[in-house]
Amino acid sequence: MAETALKLDHRTLGLLGLQWTLFWGNFALYWLFPLPLWLHVSLGVVAIHLAFTIWHEAAHGTISNRRSINNAAGIMGMFPYMTPYFMQRFVHLDHHKYLNEADKDPNQVYSSGPFWQLPMRYFRAIAYAKKMLSEDPRSRAMRFSDTTLLIAIGVLFIVSLWQGFFMDLFWLWLLPLVIAKVIMDWYVNFLPHVGLPPDRFLGTRIIDVPFLTPWVLCHNYHAVHHLWPSIPWHSYIARYRDRIDYLNEHRVPIETRLWTRRPSPPVAVHSNRDAGPIGRE
């Protein structure tokens, strides 16, 4: 039987190439041709900010029709974010499966209170990770990959303390990671879901604000992703325009202002069970 022709999402792979160029290029500039420190921090933030889109597309299998390519891209995209890819993938699929359900959806860590209080809720993510580990859905190879990444990062920072370049990693990696994480948590975890019910159609909002779109790589159309998780990030706007009547018919929350008081959650009329199965490898 003939093998299916290779398919690649060159836009997401381009993001991966850009991420690694910015991330490692920033180190090279810092050591060889130093720029103002704020600019080095900013370059690090941009590079790490791209991590979400890359691993997210890999987790949903939109980068390629080859599982190995999706996994490789996900692992590489996650490295600057210092997070095990396979564990994060299963956590994210649970978010789709248990959308906005209290004590089940891991995203509740981000959306169950005011954004300014979010750092105080990060500890709940550790508790969820422990629960995931006790029910570990990963294969042996996945666990090996995740553990190897954490060990490699740990060894790198230990060596940096020993050899005296820890502050380089602080300015170029740790501080940008903290800033990028807050930004990503706002536009992809908090903003799309805060105040909404556990419902396939009503549980994720769209923020139809054009100037925001390029900065967050179309994730302001996050409800499109939850309804059609198999399409890539750069197709969200086209699907939104094509299916606007469908979205309005099912009362998907669509907002045209970024800074506004979010409305009270509407009464749910569809359960998450209507969403269909969420595949796991």
pLDDT in tens, 99-147: 999 888 999 888 888 888 888 888 777 777 777 777 889 999 999 999 9
**50-44-72-137 Cα dihedral, nearest 10 degrees:** -80
Indicate the pLDDT class of residue 280, thresholds 50, 70 and 90. Answer: very low
Indicate the pLDDT class of residue 247, thresholds 50, 70 and 90. Answer: very high
User: Is residue 278 included in any domain, yes or no?
Assistant: no
User: Is residue 60 included in any domain, yes or no?
Assistant: yes
pLDDT of residue 275: 43
Residues 29 and 154 in one domain: yes
Domain interval for residue 237 = 201-270
Residues 50 and 94 in one domain: yes
User: Is residue 276 included in any domain, yes or no?
Assistant: no
Query: By the 8 A CB rule, do 224 and 60 touch?
Result: no
Residues 180 and 208 in one domain: no
pLDDT reading at 258 higher than 50: yes
Integer-rounded Cα radius of gyration of the chain:
19
Number of domains observed in the structure of the chain: 2
Residues 167 and 258 in one domain: no
Indicate the pLDDT class of residue 1, thresholds 50, 70 and 90. Answer: low
User: Is residue 23 included in any domain, yes or no?
Assistant: yes
pLDDT in tens, 161-189: 999 999 999 999 999 999 999 999 999 99
Model confidence, pTM: 0.89
pLDDT of residue 120: 82
pLDDT in tens, 34-66: 999 999 999 999 999 999 999 999 999 999 999
